[in-house]
A and B are shown apart, each in its own frame.
Chain A
Amino acid sequence: MTALLLHDLPFEIIPLDARLLLCSTPAGFPSPAADDIEEPIDLGTWLIEQPAASYVMRVDGHSMSGAGINDGDLIVVSRAKKPRAGHIVVALVHGDRTLKRLKRAGDRLWLIAEAEGYEAIIVDENVEIWGVVVGLARRY
């Protein structure tokens, strides 16, 4: 009987998948591309710059179509970015999530739709600005 004591061995060689078998071992001239290999494009990391403070949401409705945001689109909402007039924001109005543009009129802030037929909402104690839209994703 042969017994193999593994406890002295470095953990590098303890249980690993046999992935190496899948690699080819070129015996000839090394690939000229080997040094220029890059990762494939990752749209997620491009779209979401600050993952810890960013949340993905889905748009339900047409009130922001004038801003190029359509029903069913995915948006990236940042809680790290400070909301300012002019930003498109996600706000809680009486607790309901809504997507609008934040605008200043006189000395008050308003939530404004960018389509016909929606009323402006004044930002008062019933409104909480939840986050700022920093990205948009759509598939066709």
Chain B
Amino acid sequence: MPTPIALIDCNNYYVSCERAFDSRLVGVPVIVLSNNDGCAVARSAEAKALGIKMGEPVHLIRDKIERHGIRVLSSNYTLYGDMQRRVVASIESFARDFEIYSIDETFVDLAGFEDRDLVAHVRAMRDQVLRWTTIPTCVGLGPTKTLAKLGNAAAKKNPLFDSVADLRDETVRTWVLDRFAVGDVWGVGGATAAKLAALGIHTAGQLRDMPMKQARAMGTVVLERLVAELRGVPSGVVETIEPQRKGMAVTRSFGTPVNDIATLMGAVTQYAMRAGEKLRCHGLVAARLTVFFHTNRFKPDRPQYSASRMMALHPMTNDSFELIAAARRGVEHGWRDGYAITKAGIMLDDLVAAELRPQTLFEGDTAKRDRLMVALDNVNGRFGRFAAVPAIQGFKREWKMRAEMKSPAWTTRIEDVPWVRA
């Protein structure tokens, strides 16, 4: 029996963060806009009910906003990043290990807790997140990450589950898989979904029953692994799926624990280099970079520490120098002396195609920088990875992005903390 995995996912995360400190936003339709106030990237349940779609450009829904009194907010990533840190800390005592998958999703490894009532266990975890942060969540439980993710989607969609779906249960699993569109399965793209439909495979249940050989013959190793995961056999498929829009990550465990900031800086610099390469290779730019590092969770007798800092990238970029500068600022903010760090990584979020990147004022000549990056990739391609690396970093560029309806940094800035009437 494989180790049970849970996926805990925050409901309407950005909106929930905003509601934590502004009760006028509770019970009314709310949307949060992307960088530069372009499109709706988060919607409250009330806004979804009004038919507002994910990613819808705000200028197309002006009418609806006025007619229904929809509250519109700029994104406040300072707040969302701090609340994520709190959500993760609330989860910490419920598992020996976990993996932050995106700003609002965390995989929880429940190894060692198998003899407990795991549904009660994850409900207690969910309650703790709600109590500490006010953020409501849904949890999917399963023998593999793919099934945990499917369970999470089911828990979110169907109120019968009361926010927790346990796909370790054969009956529940079959019921959910038979009602789950194959195109909505994580990692199944539009083209694959069309090919599967031609074979009469429309649901996740039918995909599970597809012969392995046939899945492999369709050309992707991902599909074959997905079939295995749907059958309850972990195959590491999550690690192989490059999340398209959500983000990408470069993380590593250290052979020997790192005790000083200089070594950690060196490691994180390398990850940022690699992440920049990956972005350029896919023709993407990122809006946010998160750097995290922590001590060995399997040695609870040693001093424990974990840090995670999110940095905004203005303008959106795939420039290794910018990524490195952001990553290093994050390490500087999060570092505490006296801990043996065993794992570190960086994550990039909010990726868009480089040519669709919103332009900012005062951007200067990026063409030169682009040519430099091409040269850098060529050198590293020819002489081996990290043949050429930046020797120093030292630019700080803080351009204000458009964010006209942004809430205060409620939890991180002393002049912004909420008032309480006495």
- A29 interfacial contact with B, CB 8 Å: no
Q: Are A7 and B269 in contact (CB under 8 A)?
A: no
Tell whether A69 pairs with B422 under 8 Å between CB atoms, given A7-B385, A15-B269, A52-B90.
yes
Residue of A nearest to B132 (CB): A53
Contact with B along A4-27 (1 / 0, CB 8 A): 011100011111110100000000
Scan residues 36-77 of chain A and give those whose CB is less than 8 A from a CB of chain B. 39, 51-53, 55-64, 69, 71, 74-75, 77
CB of B384 within 8 A of chain A? yes
Question: Does B191 interact with chain A (Cβ within 8 Å)?
Answer: no
In angstroms, how far is the closest chain B Cβ from the Cβ of A14? 5
A99 at interface by CB-CB < 8 Å: yes
> Chain A interface: which of B106-114, B138-146, B411-419?
B411-419
CA separation between A5 and B24, bound complex, in Å? Answer: 59
Q: Is the CB of B270 within 8 A of A97?
A: no
Q: Are B387 and A5 in contact (CB under 8 A)?
A: yes
State whether A99 touches B384 (Cβ < 8 A).
no
Tell me whether B420 is interfacial, beta carbon within 8 Å.
Answer: yes
- A7: chain B residues within 8 A (beta carbon): 383-387
CA distance A59 to B383 in the complex (A): 61
Question: Is A95 in contact with chain B by the CB < 8 A criterion?
Answer: yes
Would you call A58 and B417 a contact (CB within 8 A)? yes
Q: Is the CB of A16 within 8 A of B383?
A: no
B401 at the A/B interface (Cβ < 8 Å)? no
**A52-B420 contact, Cβ under 8 Å, with A7-B385, A13-B266, A14-B266:** no
Report whether A14 and B262 are in contact in the complex, using a CB–CB cutoff of 8 Å.
Answer: no
Those of A96-139 within 8 Å (CB) of chain B: 96-100, 113
Closest partner residue, chain B, to A55 (CB atom): B411
Q: Out of A6, A15, A53, A97, name the residue touching B420 (CB < 8 Å).
A: A97
B residues in contact with A39, CB < 8 Å: 337
Instruction: Decide if B72 is an interface residue (CB 8 Å cutoff).
Output: no
Chain A proximity mask over B295-339: 1 for CB below 8 Å, otherwise 0: 000000000000000000000000000001000000000000100
Q: Do A16 and B418 touch across chains, with their CB atoms under 8 A apart? A: no
A53 contacts B419, CB within 8 Å? no
B24 partner residues in chain A, CB cutoff 8 A: 95
A13 to B269, CA, bound (A): 11
- In the complex, identify which listed stretch (B37-45, B197-205, B349-357, B389-397) lies at the interface while the others stay far away: B389-397
**Which residues of A have CB within 8 Å of B89?**
51-53
State A6–B383 Cα separation when bound (angstroms).
Answer: 10
Determine if B59 is an interface residue (Cβ-Cβ < 8 Å).
no
Chain B residues with CB under 8 A of A87: none
Write out the residue numbers on chain B whose beta carbons fall within 8 Å of the beta carbon of A99.
420-422
**Which residues of A lie under 8 Å from residue B418 when comparing CB positions?**
55, 57-58, 97
The answer, yes or no, to whether B407 is at the interface (CB within 8 Å) is no
B85 contacts the other chain (CB 8 A): yes
Bound-state CA distance A64–B422 (Å) is 6
Judge whether B414 and A56 touch: CB under 8 Å: yes
Chain B residues lying within 8 Å of A3, measured Cβ to Cβ, are 383
CA distance A6 to B266 in the complex (A): 12
Write the residues of chain A forming the contact surface with B, with a CB cutoff of 8 angstroms.
3, 5-7, 11-17, 19, 39, 51-53, 55-64, 69, 71, 74-75, 77, 79-80, 90, 92, 95-100, 113
Chain B residues with a Cβ under 8 A of chain A: 23-24, 26, 85-86, 89-90, 131-134, 262-263, 265-267, 269-270, 324, 337, 383-393, 410-411, 414, 417-422
The 5 closest A-B pairs by CB, nearest first: A52-B89, A95-B23, A11-B266, A61-B422, A53-B132
